[in-house]
Amino acid sequence: NAGVTQTPKFQVLKTGQSMTLQCAQDMNHNSMYWYRQDPGMGLRLIYYSASEGTTDKGEVPNGYNVSRLNKREFSLRLESAAPSQTSVYFCASSGRDRGAPLAFFGQGTRLTVV
């Protein structure tokens, strides 16, 4: 049972470059999330997807786009990376897991924009 899988684990981008962070879950969860975590800070919600085909902005959506490709996958795109987007990005999913509502995280993507 892989849970939530994020790729890549590390990435260095130049300012202005674009990239897509991938996230997939195998728990049949409806809801998926993208967070960013800066040093010494908590998790800030970038975007949320309640179900396939729906997405909502979170606390810090500027500079990002998302795509809920299907129930399993939720990708985060940086169209024109900026140094302020240097952060650790976490994907999460929530739903019922063996009957109980739960939420799980991926291992994170460490992104550096130079």
Partner 1 sequence: GQQLNQSPQSMFIQEGEDVSMNCTSSSIFNTWLWYKQDPGEGPVLLIALYKAGELTSNGRLTAQFGITRKDSFLNISASIPSDVGIYFCAGLDRGGSNYKLTFGKGTLLTVNP
Letters for 33-72 (x = contact with partner 1 by CB under 8 A, - = none) are x-x-----xxx-x--x-xx---------------------
Closest CA to 72 of 89, 49, 56: 49
Q: Which of 11, 30, 65, 67 binds partner 1 (CB under 8 A)?
A: 30
- Report how far residue 57's alpha carbon sits from residue 39's, in angstroms, rounded to the nearest whole number: 22
Two structure tokens written together for 101: 């509502």
Q: Which of 19, 69, 86, 108 binds partner 1 (CB under 8 A)?
A: 108
Q: Which is nearer to partner 1, 14 or 42 (CB)?
A: 42
- Report how far residue 96's alpha carbon sits from residue 30's, in angstroms, rounded to the nearest whole number: 9
Q: Which of 100, 111, 113, 114 binds partner 1 (CB under 8 A)?
A: 100
Q: Are strands 100-105 and 43-49 parallel, antiparallel or unpaired?
A: unpaired
